[in-house]
Amino acid sequence: MDNAIWEKVPRARPDPYLEWERRTRDPWDQRDYFCSLHVQVIPVTGDDYLPNLKALLKAVKQGRLDQDHALPDVVTIRMADDEQKYLSDIIHAICTGAISPPFNHIQMQFFIYRPESLVYINGAYERTSIYNVIFAGPPIDELTLHFPTHEINPLIFPGPPAFASVAVGIIDDGIAFAHERLRSDAETSRIYALWLQEVERAPNTDSRVLFGQILEKNDIDALLKSCKSESEIYRKLGIVDFSKNKYNPLAARASHGTHVLDLATGYQPSVEQPPRPILAVQLPSVATIDTSGVTMGSYVLQAVRMIMVWADRFSPRMPLVINFSYGILAGPKDGTQHLEKALADLIKFRNNKAPTALVLPAGNSYRVRTTAKMTLDEGEAQELDWVALPDAAAPNFVEMWFDDIDPDCSLAPVEITLTAPDGSYGQPIRLEQGFVWLLMVDGRPIAGMCYDINCETSRGRIFLTVGPSARNEKNWPIAPSGRWTVSIENRIDGELTAHWYVQRDDTPFGYPRRSRQSYLDHEEAYARDWKTGDYRVYQDDCPLTYQETLSAIATARRATIVVGAAEATDEFYENTDDCPPANYASSGPTISRSKPNCSAIADEGDALWGVLAAGTLSGSTVRMRGSSVAAPQVVRELADELSVSHPTPGPEAPVPVPHPDDTIAVKYTDKPRLGRFVLKPAERRWIPKRRYPAI
Same domain, 357 and 375: no
pLDDT at 439: 95
Residue 317: inside a domain: yes
Closest CA to 344 of 675, 657, 102, 653: 653
Q: How far apart (Å, rounded) are the C-alpha atoms in residues 279 and 217? A: 10
Averaged pLDDT for residues 542-554: 94
**Would residue 570 be called left, alpha or beta, if left means φ above 0 and alpha means ψ between -120 and 50 degrees?**
alpha
Is the pLDDT at 573 greater than 80, yes or no? no
Q: Which of 395, 475, 489 is nearest to 442 (CA)?
A: 475
- Under the banding of pLDDT at 50, 70 and 90, the label for residue 160 is low
pLDDT of residue 533: 75
Q: Which residue has the higher pLDDT, 150 or 47?
A: 47
Tally of domains within the chain: 3
Question: Peptide bond preceding 508: is omega within 30 degrees of 0, i.e. cis?
Answer: no
Same domain for 412 and 315?
no
In a domain, residue 4? The reply is no
Span 216-244, average pLDDT: 92
**What whole-number distance in Å separates Cα of residue 324 and Cα of residue 79?**
25
Q: What would the mean pLDDT of 20-37 be, rounded to a whole number?
A: 87
CA separation for the pair 509, 569 (Å, rounded): 25
On the question of pLDDT at 692 being above 60, the answer is no
Range of the domain at 222: 167-365+549-679
Residue 150, in any domain of the structure: no
Burial class (CB in 10 A: 0-12, 13-18, 19+), 484: buried
- Residue range 253-277: mean pLDDT, rounded: 89
Q: What percent of the chain has pLDDT over 90?
A: 63
Please report which confidence band the pLDDT of residue 538 belongs to, taking 50, 70 and 90 as the band edges.
confident
CA 691 to chain centre: 34
Residues 267 and 412 in one domain: no
CA-wise closest residue to 555 among 249, 302, 340: 340
**Across the strands, what pairs with 647?**
none
What is the model's pLDDT at position 539? 74
CA Rg, the chain, in Å? 25
Work out the average pLDDT over 537-566: 91
| 236 band by pLDDT with thresholds 50, 70 and 90 | very high
pLDDT band at 223 (very low <50, low <70, confident <90, very high): very high
- Specify whether 372 is located in the same domain as 361: no
* Dist. CA 23–CA 595, nearest whole Å: 38
Mean pLDDT for the chain overall:
88
Q: Which of 122, 139, 156 is the last residue of a domain?
A: 139
Q: What is the pLDDT of residues 122-141, one digit of tens each?
A: 999 999 999 999 999 988 88
Quote the CA–CA distance of 448 and 463 in Å, as a whole number.
8
Q: Is residue 395 assigned to a domain?
A: yes
In-domain check, residue 182: yes
Whether residue 330 is found in the same domain as residue 451: no
Burial (CB < 10 A; 0-12, 13-18, 19+), residue 573, is: exposed
Q: What is the DSSP letter of 58?
A: H
Which CATH number belongs to the domain containing residue 493 in this structure?
A: 2.60.120.1290
Same domain, 470 and 346: no
pLDDT at 1: 57
Domain contains 202: yes
Cis upstream peptide for 589 (omega within 30°) = yes
- pLDDT at 203 (0 to 100): 46
**pLDDT at residue 575, as a whole number:** 57
The predicted-structure confidence for 86-104, as pLDDT tens digits, reads as follows 999 999 999 999 999 999 9
- Is residue 620 included in any domain, yes or no? yes
| Residue-wise pLDDT tens digits, 433-489 | 999 999 998 888 999 999 999 988 999 999 999 999 887 666 677 899 999 999 999
d(CA 372, CA 502): 9
Rounding to the nearest 10 degrees, give the CA dihedral for residues 55, 60, 61, 66: 60
Residues 333 and 374 in one domain: no
Choose between 312 and 558: higher pLDDT: 312
User: Tell me: the pLDDT tens digits for 611-632?
Assistant: 999 999 998 999 999 999 999 9
Task: Pick the more confident residue, 147 or 59.
Answer: 59
**Would the pLDDT of 286 be above 80?**
no
Strands 167-172 and 278-282: what pairing? Answer: parallel
On whether the pTM is more than 0.85, the answer is: yes
Would 8 be classed as within a structural domain?
A: no
Task: Find, among 62, 135, 60, 492, the residue nearest to 336 by Cα.
Answer: 135
For residue 687, the SS3 value is coil
Per-residue pLDDT band for 25 (boundaries 50, 70, 90) equals: confident
CB 321 within 8 A of CB 639: yes
Backbone angles phi, psi at 483, to 5 degrees: -90, 105
201 pLDDT tier (thresholds 50, 70, 90): low
> pLDDT digits over 165-175, tens only?
899 999 999 99
Q: Do 361 and 372 fall within a single domain?
A: no
Residues 207 and 326 placed together within one structural domain of the fold: yes
CATH code, domain carrying 610: 3.40.50.200
Do 624 and 667 fall into the same domain? yes
Instruction: Note the pLDDT of residue 536.
Output: 74
Q: Where are the beta strands (DSSP E) in 349-466?
A: 356-361, 371-376, 381-388, 396-402, 414-419, 435-441, 444-454, 459-466
Q: How much is the pLDDT for 177?
A: 96
Higher pLDDT, 231 or 688: 231
Identify the DSSP state of 379: T
The helix/strand/coil state of 485 is: strand
513 and 585 share a domain? no
Q: Which pLDDT value is given to residue 689?
A: 60
Both 257 and 332 in one domain: the answer is: yes
pLDDT given for residue 644 in this prediction: 82
Q: Tens digit of pLDDT for each residue in 379-411?
A: 999 999 999 999 888 899 999 999 999 999 999
Using pLDDT thresholds of 50, 70 and 90, give the confidence band for residue 563: very high
Task: Give the chain's length.
Answer: 695
